[in-house]
């Protein structure tokens, strides 16, 4: 399911779709990143930095947080099986 993971509605939709299709979340793989390359740190606009943190750190945490309520092994979903790949 493609989408911008910094969007809370998108994260909820990803978890809801997995639960709808599979009935639960066994494994959650948060595999998303945003990165730009700059010559110098002062060239990085604040908005770009905020987007980087929103996708690379906050979205991962919040996606796991949303998914863990639907795991079969909460709070540590370690069993192999179907999952969400975001």
More confident residue, 64 or 86: 64
**pTM of the predicted model as reported, rounded to 2 decimal places:** 0.60
* Residue with token string 């863990």: 68
pLDDT single digits (tens) 8-59: 888 888 888 888 998 888 777 767 777 788 899 999 999 999 988 888 888 8
Query: Cα separation of 86 and 65, whole Å?
Result: 14
DSSP 54: I
**Given a cut of 50, is residue 83 above it in pLDDT?**
no
> Given this model, what pLDDT does residue 29 score?
74
Q: Could you state, in order of their start, the residue ranges of all structural domains in the chain?
A: 8-85
> Given this model, what pLDDT does residue 73 score?
53
Based on the number of CB atoms within 10 Å of its own CB, is 51 exposed (0-12), middle (13-18) or buried (19 or more)? middle
């Amino acid at each position: 399911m493609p989408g911008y993971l910094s969007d809370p509605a998108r994260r909820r939709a990803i978890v809801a779709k997995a639960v709808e299709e599979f009935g639960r979340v066994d494994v959650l793989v948060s595999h998303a990143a945003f990165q730009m390359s700059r010559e110098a740190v002062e060239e990085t606009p604040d908005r770009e930095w905020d987007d980087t943190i929103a996708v690379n750190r906050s979205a991962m945490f919040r996606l796991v947080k949303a998914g863990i309520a639907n795991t079969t092994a909460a709070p540590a979903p370690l069993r192999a099986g179907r999952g969400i790949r975001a």
